[in-house]
Amino acid sequence: MPPQTKGTTFRDNEEEEELQIEEPVPMSPLISLLHLRHTYASQYVDESKREEAKAKILKEAYDHNMAPYLRFICESFAWSLEESKMQEMDAFNAKKLEELDARLKDAQENLGDVEVRESLLAKCEHFARIGDLQECLKFNMECSSKTLAAGPKLDLCFQRILLGIAFSDNEIAANGVRDAHRLMKDGDWERRNRLKVYEGIYYVFIRDFKRGSELLLDSISTFASSELMDFNEFILITVVASLPVLSRSDLKQQILDSPEVRSANIKDVFHLITVIYNCRYKEVFSALDTVCQHLRGIVYLSQHVNYFFREVRVLVFTQFLDSYSSVTLNSMSAAFGIPPPVLDNMLGTLISNERIACKMDRVSDSITTYRGDTTNFDYHRIVKNGDLLLNRIQKLSRLAEM
């Protein structure tokens, strides 16, 4: 279960009043390890940083007796295990588990349901801390079955979502989101906001930028999920997920004019959005390249960098062409600072994939835009996809008859 918000107490000498100042919740150790795993696995990171990430992973595992997690890591990266240290950690964990089992047995025999639940929760948190995914999920569900109040049940759902994210298991995260929604009708305001962040990150992780951005944008002013990420990273992910899906007016209102976005340290991404909104097309692709290089280091977005690049390219080309009924290839090339043959190839691919509503005349080197009926576009797309599906079914039927 994610740790609760900490507080620092100050006392006024005159009025003797206490004031609680909330401190950010520290990032979950499993999420920190997820970032380190990503750094180690990335092909865009130099060898020294990869070795540094490996050293930090091993130190965290050894310091907290994370034998199950270390086995998971070593299997993923083909690292060799130090048997002596593994045996030492296993012995420590076995002793700790005996203590937790004794506590649970005593609660079951001599105490009430509250104490039983607390004992189960302690085992759940122990397995989470040592990175034993399956055992943590097992006791998480058992603890949930002993929990009546909606708030603590939701906290257990949040833990399952976090585990799914930390171990890159989308099914676990999806089940946690589903269970949380089922309970949220009785949830409080804080947990509703936390669910928006957790669910939004999950949708970004599976490349549903539209649903993810809606949830994350709705959480900007109430962000309180620092166990997943810090505020700057949250804003960056929100902005990146929103850019390909927001309209121009919404981009201005919800991103460019947002005080939370403007206060975050995301100058490269903010510069990209600014040049797109202000139609400074010659700067777009250099700014986009800088942002994409940065996104490769962010675990939640690294696998979507190429997708993001393609979607932003469609966005800026469409925005440019919407201003004209016809434009020459050379004029568009000059506006974007892209050589005509490269631009020709880009546009040809996008037009053939029906991503841009225009036609190219290679004789006159002109591009003619048209405002097609969206229903007509959808109809032709359905027919095209239907033909592909029928062809595949026919191939399968022929194979079945052989």
- 3-class secondary-structure state, position 243: coil
Specify the amino acid at residue 169: D
Neighbour tally for 252: CB within 10 Å: 14
What pLDDT was estimated at residue 363? 78
d(CA 192, CA 219): 10
Tokens 């091993």 locate to: 58
Q: Are 351 and 358 spatial neighbours (Cβ–Cβ below 8 Å)?
A: yes
Q: How far is CA 45 from CA 52, 77, 163, 165, in A?
A: 11, 16, 25, 22
At residue 81's C-alpha, the angle toward residues 77 and 83, to 5°, is 165
- Nearest-CA neighbor of 189 among 218, 156, 147, 160? 218
What pLDDT was estimated at residue 393? 84
Domains of the chain: 324-387 (1.10.10.10)
Span 296-347, pLDDT tens digits: 999 999 999 999 999 999 999 999 988 888 888 899 999 999 998 998 898 8
Instruction: Tell me: pLDDT of 11 over 50.
Output: no
Beta pairing, strands 326-328 & 366-369: antiparallel
- 3-class secondary-structure state, position 301: coil
Give residues with Cβ within 8 angstroms of 338, minimum separation 6: 285, 346
What pLDDT was estimated at residue 378? 67
- 3-class secondary-structure state, position 6: strand
- Local confidence band at 352 (pLDDT 50, 70, 90 cut-offs): confident
Specify the amino acid at residue 401: E
d(CA 173, CA 161): 4
Q: Are 68 and 47 spatial neighbours (Cβ–Cβ below 8 Å)?
A: no
Helix (H) or strand (E) holding 398: helix 374-401
- Local confidence band at 21 (pLDDT 50, 70, 90 cut-offs): very low
3-state secondary structure 29-57: HHHHHHHHHHHHHCCCCCHHHHHHHHHHH
| Strand partners for 8 | 21
pTM for the complete prediction? Answer: 0.82
Span 55-82, pLDDT tens digits: 999 999 999 999 999 999 988 888 888 8
d(CA 390, CA 375): 22
End-to-end CA distance of the chain: 55
Q: Which of 38-42, 159-163, 383-387 has the lowest mean pLDDT?
A: 383-387
Instruction: Tell me: pLDDT of 377 over 90.
Output: no
Specify the amino acid at residue 392: R
Q: Are 202 and 177 spatial neighbours (Cβ–Cβ below 8 Å)?
A: yes
d(CA 157, CA 3): 14
d(CA 198, CA 162): 8
Span 77-109, pLDDT tens digits: 888 888 888 999 999 999 999 999 999 888 888
User: DSSP string spanning 109-136?
Assistant: HHS-HHHHHHHHHHHHHHHHHTT-HHHH
Mean pLDDT of 196-222: 92
Span 132-175, pLDDT tens digits: 999 999 999 989 888 878 888 899 999 999 999 999 899 999 99
Structure token digits, residue 98: 């005996």
How many Cα neighbours within 13 Å face the side chain of 345?
4
Span 226-276, pLDDT tens digits: 899 999 999 999 999 999 999 889 999 999 999 999 999 899 999 999 999
Q: Who has greater pLDDT, 25 or 49? A: 49
What pLDDT was estimated at residue 390? 84
Instruction: Tell me: pLDDT of 368 over 90.
Output: no
DSSP at 303: G
Instruction: Tell me: pLDDT of 13 over 50.
Output: no
Mean pLDDT of 207-219: 93
